[in-house]
Amino acid sequence: MNIKITGSGSYIPEIKVKNTDFENHVFLNDDGTPFAYSNEVVISKFKSITGIEERRYAEPHLTSSDMAFFAAEKAIKNANIDPETLDYIIFAHNFGDVKPNAIQSDTVPSLATRVKFKLRIKNPKCVAYDVLFGCPGWIEGVLQANAFIKSGMAKRCLVIGAETLSRVVDAHDRDSMIYSDGAGASILEACEDGDGLLAYESATFAYDEANYLYFGNSFNKDLDPDVRYIKMHGRKIYEFALSQVPLAMKSCLDKSGITIDNIKKVLIHQANEKMDEAIVNRFYKLYDREMPDRIMPMSITLLGNSSVATIPTLFDLLVSNQIENQELHQGDVIIFASVGAGMNVNAFVYRY
C-alpha cells in the first residue's frame, strides 16, 4: 500500500511586491553600517542570484491560518471528499499567526485547530496539530501522513504548509527581499495501484548547523533589541544545501528502485533559484548525468520564498497547468525535496 495526493489547493496572496519597491529601503550591514553601494546595485545582485522579480504578501486582514483555510477548501473540493472524513489535519508553519505590525506570534489554539474550526468539522476524531520543521515542514507532514495511513491509524489526511514571512523580516536586512507569503494544501489517501509515495528520506543536522537560521535583532541598532526577526547565515546554508540535499535525494531515489533517467520532474523548495539549480545539477552529477531541460518547474521568480508553502503551491500550480512549458502525466515520477531551519533535509519519490 502507498499513499497518494488525491487533491491539492493553494492560496496566492493578491499583494504584489516588485524588486523596485525596495529602492527606497534603508539596507544595513549586520553591524548597523550602511552599504557602500546603492540599492539599485543591491537589487540587481539580488535578482541575479535568487531569480526573484516579485513576491506576494498577505493582505493585512489575513493570517497564515486564514490562507491555509482557503488552500484547504480548494484541496478538499479538488479531492471531492467530505471534510468530516479527515482523520488528521497536519499544519506545517514556523511562526504561527502574526498580525501586521505585531511583535508576538499567536499559536494558541494551534493553527491546525483553527483550520479545522473554519472548515466547520464536527468530528472530534479528526486530530489537528502543527509541525515546526523549517521550510521542509510540508514534506515532513506528508511523511507523517504516510506513517499514519500505513500503520492503519488513518485513511485520509490533510497536510498544509502556510506562512506570512513578510511579517517576521527585518526591513533593514537585504535578505528580507527573499521572503514571501502563501499557502498550499494536499489531501493524502491510501492507494493500491503502485502509484504515490515510493520512498523517502528525512534528517536533522544540528551538531554544527542548528543555528544557520535563527531569530535575531534588527540590523538597525536604534530599534527595540527585544524584538526579533528571521535571520540566516546565507553562505553556510548554501554550502550545506549543496552538500546534503543531493545526497538525500540520491538515497531516496536508490531506495525507490526508480532509475535517474525515469525522473520526469524535481519539485524543490523554492529558496533561491541559483541554489536550487546547483542542488539539482549536483544530484544529476551523482549519477554522471546532465540535468535535463524542463526538469525543475519554478515559481520563485514571481512568488518568492514562502517557506513551507513553496512546494505544495508549486505542485498545485503544476497539476493545474499554470506553469508555462511544464506539465505532468499519469505515471510520471517526481522527486520532492527541501532544506531549511534545523537544519532539516527531506525528500520523497512519488509516482503521479
Per-residue pLDDT tens for 64-95?
999 999 999 999 999 999 999 999 999 999 99
The mean pLDDT value for 202-214 works out to 96
Single-letter amino acid, residue 130: D
Question: How far apart are alpha carbons 337 and 332 in whole angstroms?
Answer: 16
The mean pLDDT value for 328-344 works out to 95
Sequence-ordered list of residues with C-beta below 8 angstroms from that of 212, at least 6 positions apart, any chain: 232, 233, 236, 237, 240, 341, 343
Angle between the 273-285 and 39-50 helix axes, to the nearest 10 degrees? 30
Question: How far apart are alpha carbons 260 and 19 in whole angstroms?
Answer: 37
Mapping DSSP to helix (H, G, I), strand (E, B) and coil, where does residue 188 land?
strand
Confidence of residue 194 (pLDDT cuts 50, 70, 90): confident
Domains and CATH numbers, the chain: 2-193 (3.40.47.10), 197-351 (3.40.47.10)
Percent of the chain with pLDDT over 70: 100
For residue 177, the model assigns a pLDDT of 94
Answer left, alpha or beta for residue 318, where phi above 0 means left and psi between -120 and 50 means alpha. alpha
- Residue written as grid cell 497536510: 159
Say whether pLDDT at 104 is over 90: no
Say whether pLDDT at 36 is over 90: no
Say whether pLDDT at 192 is over 90: no
- The beta-carbon contacts of 228-233 under 8 Å, at least 24 apart in sequence, are 229/168, 229/169, 229/170, 229/173, 230/95, 230/165, 230/168, 230/169, 230/170, 230/179, 231/170, 231/173, 231/175, 232/175
Mapping DSSP to helix (H, G, I), strand (E, B) and coil, where does residue 17 land?
strand
For residue 1, the model assigns a pLDDT of 83
- Cβ distance 231 to 213 under 8 Å? yes
The mean pLDDT value for 9-29 works out to 94
The mean pLDDT value for 285-289 works out to 96
Q: What are the Cα distances from residue 285, in Å, to 115, 180, 226, 278, 342?
A: 42, 31, 46, 10, 26
The mean pLDDT value for 165-179 works out to 94
Confidence of residue 170 (pLDDT cuts 50, 70, 90): very high
For residue 35, the model assigns a pLDDT of 87
Q: Quick one: the chain helix, strand, coil %, rounded to 5?
A: 35, 25, 40
C-alpha 180: how far from chain center: 11
| Mean pLDDT of all residues belonging to the chain | 95
pLDDT tens digit sequence for 251-270: 999 999 999 999 999 999 99
For residue 281, the model assigns a pLDDT of 96
- Residue written as grid cell 493553494: 10
Give the DSSP H or E segment for 16: strand 15-18
Percent of the chain with pLDDT over 90: 90
Confidence of residue 215 (pLDDT cuts 50, 70, 90): very high
For residue 226, the model assigns a pLDDT of 87
For residue 346, the model assigns a pLDDT of 98
Question: How far apart are alpha carbons 299 and 311 in whole angstroms?
Answer: 9
Predicted structure pTM score: 0.95
Lowest mean pLDDT among 25-39, 242-256, 324-338: 25-39
Question: How far apart are alpha carbons 304 and 181 in whole angstroms?
Answer: 8
Confidence of residue 331 (pLDDT cuts 50, 70, 90): very high
Going across the sheet that includes 333-340, the strands are 196-204, 344-351, 333-340, 263-268
For residue 318, the model assigns a pLDDT of 96
Say whether pLDDT at 275 is over 90: yes
Task: Quote the strand ranges of 119-223, DSSP E.
Answer: 127-131, 156-164, 181-191, 196-204, 213-216
